[in-house]
Amino acid sequence: MNEYITLSLILFTIGSVGVLVRRNAIVVFMCIELMLNATNLAFVSFSRQHGNLDGQVAAFFVMVVAAAEVVVGLSIIVSIYRTRRSASVDEASLLKS
């Protein structure tokens, strides 16, 4: 098994544990970015494994989508912070009965 793929799996797992454990919305978001980066590494490694550039194009599209996602996600966090004065994911529990 490829070492690069193993590293990307480790990073993806660490990112997913971070999403489960952390409560600051921005840090949770950074963990999601870590997971996206790990998949990009897997794409590039598979591209080298198979000897064609389609994997690199896929990584490029992931980067474009991640840029769009970060912009919208961070503005949602900022608007939540404006109304509730907190960026903790535990605080946003208005719908809880």
Question: What is the Cα–Cα distance from 45 to 87, expressed in whole angstroms?
Answer: 36
Can you give the length of the chain in residues? 97
Indicate the SS3 state at residue 88. strand
- Among residues 39, 40, 84, 92, which is the contact residue for another protein, using CB under 8 A? 40
**Shortest Cβ distance from residue 97 to another protein (Å)?**
17
Q: Which is nearer to another protein, 93 or 97 (CB)?
A: 93
Q: What is the largest CA-CA distance in the chain?
A: 55
Restricting to residues 69-88, name those near another protein by CB under 8 A: 69-72, 74-79, 81-82, 86-88
Q: Does 39 bind another protein (CB under 8 A)?
A: no
The answer to whether residues 77 and 25 touch, using CB atoms and an 8 Å cutoff, is: yes
CA distances from 87 to 15, 37, 93 (A): 19, 24, 12
Residues found near another protein in the complex (CB under 8 A): 1-7, 9-18, 20-24, 26-27, 29-31, 33-34, 37, 40-42, 44-45, 47-54, 56-57, 59-61, 63-72, 74-79, 81-82, 86-88, 90
